[in-house]
Amino acid sequence: MKTRKLRDLEVSAIGYGCMGLSMGYGAAPDKAEALRLLRYAYDLGYTLFDTAERYAMGANEALVGEALQDVRNNVALATKFMIEKSDIGHYSKENLFRHIKGKLEQSLGRLRTDHVELYYQHRVNKDIPVEDIAWVMGELIQEGKIRGWGQSQATAEEIRRAHAVTPLTAVQSEYSIMERQFEADVIPVCEALNIGFVPFSPLANGFLSGKISADTTFKGIDARRVITRFDKDNIKANQPLLDLLHHFAREKNATPAQISLAWMLHKKDFVVPVPGSRNRERIYENFGAAAVTLSRDEFAAIETALSTIKIHGNRTDEDLARLRTLTAE
């Protein structure tokens, strides 16, 4: 596996998103299989493993910690915390620090480690000054409990303000060939400030695998039931994008998913996507995307074609919140 740097943190060029091992895409694999998949990813060469306290109420962190305990020094662990101002009681920076540190200590226990390489604020809370969060992160770095920190779905302004207090290691936000909203300002700010950019859902929740059709159905607690790009009409309307990916996949002896990831890796050398999968073949396929190199002309041809293709549907936190109200069928 080729490596890249998120600021000063060197990791595999493609990381492993662990959420799906516990939640989000219908029935999760049993614990034994999840542990095997994590070790399989490690054995392939993944060194960045991404989880969060909210993934299955901490169970995902516990899986990662158990699977990687004996190779802990060979991997970079990234986890996330979510915080509301109401969680803190009387608001002060000191109380904020105590609350976040308590969350971190619980995550460290589940991860079976005394530190994490990367600690993200899962979503930027508009009621808490980003400068206060950044100050807390600086204190945790001084204590050695985290090596670096990041924001998720942050604006360019929030990144600049936080970075001025405690430099960020990475920003993790949704980004794919279908979701390019952060190209205008966030990614340029990351480049200017030497901050890594870590795309989640880099394969658009599996849409860019090219294996989804209008006849595909999703059941249970599966995010794709409420993500609008998976509406039957939108699947059909997005066929020109899939045709483009299939064309270059044939040209490069690759897969549509690999072309999607290779396109992203070609963009900037500080971009490290974290696709997730519960399928060994897909984990291997994603790993192989780092070896797919696009020439300047090939990349330009993809960009030119993309400029003529309209994307239908998206993924929003508001839509995902509706998943809780759906029946299992």
Catalytic residue, from 16, 55, 120, 175: name it. 55
**Alpha helices (H) along the chain:** 31-44, 59-68, 93-111, 130-142, 156-163, 186-193, 232-237, 239-252, 256-267, 280-288, 296-306, 317-321
Query: Residues 70, 73, 78, 82: is their CA dihedral positive or negative?
Result: positive
Distance CA 283, CA 101 (A): 33
**What's the N-to-C CA distance of the chain in angstroms?**
40
Give a three-class secondary structure readout of 298-318.
Answer: HHHHHHHHHCCCCCCCCCCHH
Is 91 part of the annotated catalytic residue set? no
Answer for the pair 114, 140: CB distance below 8 angstroms, yes or no. no
Tokens 């614990």 belong to 31
Residues designated catalytic: 55
